[in-house]
Structure 1
């Protein structure tokens, strides 16, 4: 999905490169590496895919230890590679944050809720080890795009998953969701039905069904031109969070489609920073 979007944007430029060079590789090659130091393929669980990358800012922006953002990529719960999201890491490390990008099991290797459980393990690993990278384990944020936003939301509103990993949701400083599916029943896709199980149990996969009081602060970003994950997912989730008195902010970005809601974090596509700026402001507001 993100590869196709970037291929469209950079079609003429890609034609000048070797055919083996994918559009995402090309985009990441245009992202400056001076903003971060990088450690890759750190093992956080027992399955082959359970590895993560840590990006440290090259330069501190203030005297505090940096906040850490754990970013879960999208891909319909059946695709995705952490290496494709170096541009996300550059965007956030350039603002002084540490960024952790985990791989997690996807369909058909895993079905719901196994990828949520993987994500919880990644958060637990980060809390245990982030001080080794100059971070503060008390300053953890989770974030995600599309299916990754769904994963982050489930960790935020359903304490079961973090508790399994020895954590509590109160140990998160906030959740950032970009174009996330939070209230997406009924399912029509045969693949999604395999991923999320029979009709009687699918309700358990919906973040909106677990909203109560005292969730971590939440930032929801949505593109009003998104036809893949309809904006109503974010509107309904925000409304439910507000109904229970939670701290939630929803920002709508005009003319942003689904993949633009992550691709426009990349420096070559960032423009005026309309997507990055509210993320930075949210982290700064809640990192105390």
Structure 2
């Protein structure tokens, strides 16, 4: 059983309820639904060449499906740009801004994956090396795009797969069952939206980061997820960080934020091990 106990410096940068103020030229509309225009922001790899295809990481922010900002994983995206990776920071519908439920959030996440895969040539994406990543509720979405067969937007082309090649899960909500996170909010259809209850053969390899002081996601949940993944022949690496709370992986104001560095480096090593990245991590 994979387990790593790491002592990390504190330094949390929790998500805000704003989409983000910087309106860069790389903001792209991927979906218009119920009058809402949803965008994603592309962060291109260093020394980008348009005619080349790049491994791509699709990041989903956390915030309990209530709020959040696409900027949560901007630091990770900028690091992976130095490693020749294209990243997408995805906005999606949340309760505070759109009066929606987690089901709409899942639909948007899957729409974003399909949009990027359908436009892989246009945006220089290697569609065979698309990774889904996210924290907390965003981690739920990162797992959901690959594991949930239902919960799709009616306007999506279902012939285009939303499945990722791998998942990077930062204290992810992966259990919405009776003893899991926000079970009542999911309602009677929780089996359709809970990743833990939809692990099947062919589930993409995953890496799961969690602090042992997380008040929302028990350590036992990570290991149950790992056991169920391995039961169907899929890989799941679990890293537990000593004395760390929910959101510990966010880059803080300190110059040397060890938790951010260590989780990013481990994610890099994981992606190397499954053939998505080459060379050594530079953190």
Shorter-chain TM-score tier: 0.7 to 0.9
Deviation digits for residues 88-133 of structure 1 (CA, Å, limit 9, x no counterpart): 3212223221110110001262113211110011001111224333
Runs of 4+ more than 6 Å apart: 264-267
Query: Scaled by the length of structure 2, what TM-score is found?
Result: 0.76
In the aligned structure 2, how far is the partner of 1:266 from the partner of 1:120?
35
1:84 Cα deviation (Å)? 4.4
In the aligned structure 2, how far is the partner of 1:268 from the partner of 1:39?
30
Match of 2:138 among 136, 148, 164: 148
Number of the residue aligned with 2:226: 238
Question: What's the secondary structure of 1:221's corresponding residue?
Answer: strand
Q: Which has the higher strand share?
A: 2
Deviation digits for residues 2-40 of structure 1 (CA, Å, limit 9, x no counterpart): xx9338xxxxxxxxxxxxxx9x9xxx99xxxxxxxx643
Matched, 1:212 2:205: no
Bigger RCO (CA 8 Å, 6+ sep): 2
In the aligned structure 2, how far is the partner of 1:188 from the partner of 1:215?
21
In the aligned structure 2, how far is the partner of 1:272 from the partner of 1:5?
10
In the aligned structure 1, how far is the partner of 2:180 from the partner of 2:152?
30
Query: Scaled by the length of structure 1, what TM-score is found?
Result: 0.75
Contact kept? 1:107, 1:195, Cα under 8 Å: no
1:113-192 alignment to 2 at 5 Å? 113-161=103-151, 165-166=157-158, 167-168=160-161, 172-186=164-178, 192=182
1:168 Cα deviation (Å)? 3.0
Q: 1:267 to 1:177 in 2, by over 3 A?
A: farther
Q: 1:221 to 1:96 in 2, by over 3 A?
A: same
**Count of paired positions:** 254
Q: 1:196 to 1:49 in 2, by over 3 A?
A: farther
Deviation digits for residues 138-194 of structure 1 (CA, Å, limit 9, x no counterpart): 21111111001111111221233579543336x5311111101112443799xx467
Q: Cα RMSD between the aligned structures?
A: 3.5
Number of the residue aligned with 1:51: 39
Number of the residue aligned with 2:81: 93
Q: Which has the higher helix share?
A: 1
1:272 Cα deviation (Å)? 8.3
Structure 1, gaps ≥5 residues long: 8-21, 30-37
Q: 1:181 to 1:230 in 2, by over 3 A?
A: same
